[in-house]
Amino acid sequence: VSGSPYRVDTGNIVMFEEGLDYRVTSVGGLKSLVLSGEGLVAEFNGHGLLVMQTRSIPGFVGWITGKMPKKSGN
């Protein structure tokens, strides 16, 4: 991040440097936040390193679970 505000879904943040300021806000209404548990973003400002993953943890688990071999019923 270098100066301009940068918004990231909170589920995709891996780590960030101490020099970055951030605030967490909701993107949608209260209804979508309560019913889905989604809609939170972090807005970063300042200069520093922000490391993100392209899938959220639940999204990755769902994806990898579908790729695993099925157990046979011997």
- Along the 74 residues of the chain, how does pLDDT read in single tens digits? 776 888 998 888 999 999 899 999 888 766 655 665 567 899 999 999 999 988 877 888 888 898 988 887 65
25's tokens: 């806000």
**Cα separation, 25 vs 4, whole angstroms:** 17
DSSP β-bridge partners for residue 7? 43
Q: Kind and range of the H or E element at 12?
A: none
Structure token digits, residue 62: 């769902």
What pTM value is reported for the model?
0.62
| For the chain, domain boundaries | 2-67
